[in-house]
Structures are given as C-alpha cells and as structure tokens.
Amino acid sequence: MQNNILVINCGSSSLKFSLMNPVNGQIILAGLAECLLTAEAVITIKHQEKKISIALSDPFDHEVAIKFLVDYLTEHQLKKSVYAIGHRVVHGGEKYSQPTLIDEDVKISIEQLSKLAPLHNPANLQGIQAAEKAFKQTPQVAIFDTAFHQTMPKKSYLYGLPYHFYQDHGIRKYGFHGTSHYFVCKEAATMLKKPIEQCNIISAHLGNGCSVTAVKQGKSVDTSLGLTPLEGVMMGTRSGDIDAGVIFHLVEQLGYSLEEVNNILNKKSGLLGVSQLSNDCRTIEEAASNGNVQATLALEIFSYRIAKSIASFTCNFTSLDGLIFTGGIGENSMFIRSLILSQLALLNFHEDKLANETMRFGKQGNIAQSDSTPCWVIPTNEEWVIAEQTYQRLNQEQ
Ligand code: ADP
C-alpha cells in the first residue's frame, strides 16, 4: 500500500513513531528513540516480528533519530509507501479544533502556544522540523490533543477568575488526551451499535497522566484536565486538584520557591507522593497487598478522586450509555476499576468480578453486571486516530 501514514509523537527526549495503514490500523513498523540529547540515545524499531536497537551517533538528537528511521524505511523499500506524516501536537489552544495541514503559519502558532504547554509544544515542533528535513515534500498534518475538547461550553471551560484573564491571556480549561477519549468513545459507539452522535459516555483515561471526560451526543462537554495537565484527578506524579491556597502556604509559610512548588506538584505528588514508593501502579498494588499502609492510602485516594470526578460529570446527562476505562491503569488494573465502581453504586454501576478479571492486557469488553450501567474496558489507540485523521484531512483537500 502506498497510503501509509507515519505517526510521530515527539517528546523533549523521545520520539515515538509508527508506520500505519490508516484504514484498518495495521502497524507495519513501530519504534521509539529515547534518551535523546544524551550519550545513551538509542533507537528501537519493531518490524516483521523482529526488534532492533541501535545506539544513535552524535549529536543524538531528534533529527538524527528521524534520519535513522528514513534510512531504515528506504533500505526496506518502505519510504515510498509514506503518504503523509501525522504529528501528535499537545496544545492547539482555541485556534485548532480540527486536523491541520502544517505550513509556516501553523508552525508559528504551535510555537506561540508553547506558552501554554512549555514542556510539550517545543518538542512537537522539533519533531515536525526534523520530519520536514527528512521527508521534504511529504505532507504533514498536526493532530492536537486539545482539539476534541473544543466543543466544551463556556460554563465548563471557564474558571471563576476575573474574565479578562481569559479574554487577554487565554486562561481557561483546554483539556488533553483528546485523541484517546475520542477513540474509545467511537469504539463504545460501535459496541452500542449506534452513531457516536447519539452516545452519552463518561471516559476515564488512567495512565501516568489521568483524565475523565464527559461526552454528550459524541461531543466533549467537560474534562478534568485544565489549562495545564495538573488539574483534575490524582495522577502518577501530579497532585490533581488541590486548594490553590496550598501553593501560597508552601511559598509564604514554608519557604519553598515557585520552581520547587511546580516540581512538587508535577513530579513528586500523586501516587508517588502519597505512597512514598513509586508512581507505578503495579508496584503500589503489590506493596498494598503486602500490607503497606501508604500504598493502600495512595490507591484509596486515587480511586476516590476518580469516582468523584465521574459522579460529578453525570450532571451533564439525563441518561448515560456507559463508562469507559482506558490507559495503562484503566486497561489493566482490575483492582483500581473495582475500587472505583464500588463507589458508584448509586449510579447503578456494579462490577462483574469475573469479567473484570478477564478484561486485561489488551482485552476489550463490559465489566459490569448485566442489569448495571455498562462499564467497558477499551484499549486506547491514539496512533490510529492520528493516522486516520491525517489521511482523511488530506483526502478532503482533493
Ligand atoms: P502514559 O500515560 O505514560 O502513556 P500508560 O498509559 O502506559 O502511561 O500507563 C502507565 C500506568 O499503567 C503505570 O502506572 C502502570 O503501573 C500502569 N499499569 C500497566 N500495567 C498494569 C497492570 N497490569 N496493573 C496495574 N497497573 C498497570
């Protein structure tokens, strides 16, 4: 097939890629370049059941990683099959609610939006520039993580702050994980055998970053992540919602610098901060099962805050088709799912224990009892959404 899409997800020190058939989601080749900008930089490519890992040579950067990938594609007669490149871009602000063909203006906008996503947008732009150099005329499309949430009404996305902060500086809730929430809701609609436009769903993406989204008639109407990925439920290393007054207390009474507080809330809190062990849910579950009190507490806070967020989003609906769990924890942790559902009995969520034990490691299905509100485990596939939307965007042009 000459219509493959190369999907690129570029972080500050990593570059994840997959070459995909955008129609059926088949992965032709996938891989990861990691530890970029360090002497340990390495690229791993999985192709035809084989996995190769090669150390990258100086200057160990994104451009070198893409160059290596292009050489590999050329050598295996795959380069000509690349119809277009789809980039995951974290922040599209209010400007981008659709897949967007990348040109000079779009790159400038992505750069300007770095104010709102200083850790992500500059890295995404680096990936775009490196791909441009290597692929020259191949069209590139940006798929924004915020785009799916651009349908939120003002009452959901505005904070109770002086209005001019929104008008003058764009301070509002944007939300993230949009491609993931969109994908799993589309899958749920297929299972419900009705168009997504007729589905009312709450979707919980629980990975290292976590978010809950209310999807009404196929559109995002509220989501837990905010201006930044710090708002909402508790996460692996991020606190989620706290009283904003805690920040003043840490600075004014306890003498922390703003930089330290930023680091504490983003990197030292959440599951890691409470458990004092790890941000990895598996490690914490194991410790909890061996009687570790802090680990048990971390899981209790984590699940309660997610259940509370799900319950609060039900005020958007008069009827609900179901709840979705996705992301590394949502797809695999029967323990967390069970804890969350046990706190949502009033909304008629009742776990089917056997189904909950079964739906793990890539399995998809309902884990609720037959007379309960459905609760599906659905493995996410953001890469496929990026490939599909890139392909569709280019075919719109013609
Ligand atoms: P990211 O947000 O970085 O994409 P993932 O979606 O891969 O993260 O999720 C990572 C989280 O999933 C980690 O906390 C990990 O412990 C958790 N996880 C993965 N497998 C399991 C499992 N079998 N049981 C419990 N948690 C799991």
155-207, pLDDT tens digit by residue?
Answer: 999 999 999 999 999 999 999 999 999 999 999 999 999 999 999 999 999 99
Cα 197 from Cα 358, distance rounded (Å): 30
Q: At what angle do helices 121-135 and 104-112 cross, to 10 degrees?
A: 160
pLDDT, residue 1, reads 59
Q: Is the pLDDT of residue 63 over 80?
A: yes
Nearest alpha carbon to residue 272 among 299, 306, 296, 236: 236
Ligand 1 nearest-atom number relative to CA 327: 6
Written as six digits, the tokens of 228 are: 């930044």
Annotated binding site for Mg(2+): 9, 382
pLDDT, residue 119, reads 86
**Identity at 18, one-letter amino acid code:** S
Annotated binding site: 9, 16, 88, 205-209, 280-282, 328-332, 382
**In angstroms, what is the span from residue 235 Cα to ligand 1's centroid?**
11
Percent of the chain's residues with pLDDT above 90: 94
Q: Look up the CATH architecture of domain 4-144.
A: 2-Layer Sandwich (3.30)
**In angstroms, what is the span from residue 240 Cα to ligand 1's centroid?**
17
Angle (CA) 161-167-173 rounded to 5° is: 60
285-342, pLDDT tens digit by residue?
Answer: 999 999 999 999 999 999 999 999 999 999 999 999 999 999 999 999 999 999 999 9
Written as six digits, the tokens of 49 are: 């059941």
DSSP 193: T
**Catalytic residue of the set 145, 222, 321, 352:** 145
252-288, pLDDT tens digit by residue?
Answer: 999 999 999 999 999 999 999 999 999 999 999 999 9
**In angstroms, what is the span from residue 166 Cα to ligand 1's centroid?**
34
- Topology of domain 194-382 in CATH is Nucleotidyltransferase; domain 5 (3.30.420)
> Hey, whose CA ends up nearest to atom 13 of ligand 1?
280
pLDDT, residue 11, reads 87
Q: For the chain, give every residue range classified as CATH 3.30.420.40.
A: 4-144, 194-382
Cα 316 to its chain centre, rounded Å, is 23
**C-alpha torsion angle, residues 284, 250, 119, 29 (rounded to 10):** 0
Omega of the bond prior to 59 within 30 degrees of 0, cis? yes
Q: Does the annotation count 71 as an active-site position?
A: no
pTM for the predicted model, two decimal places = 0.95
Q: Is the pLDDT of residue 5 over 60?
A: yes
DSSP 339: H
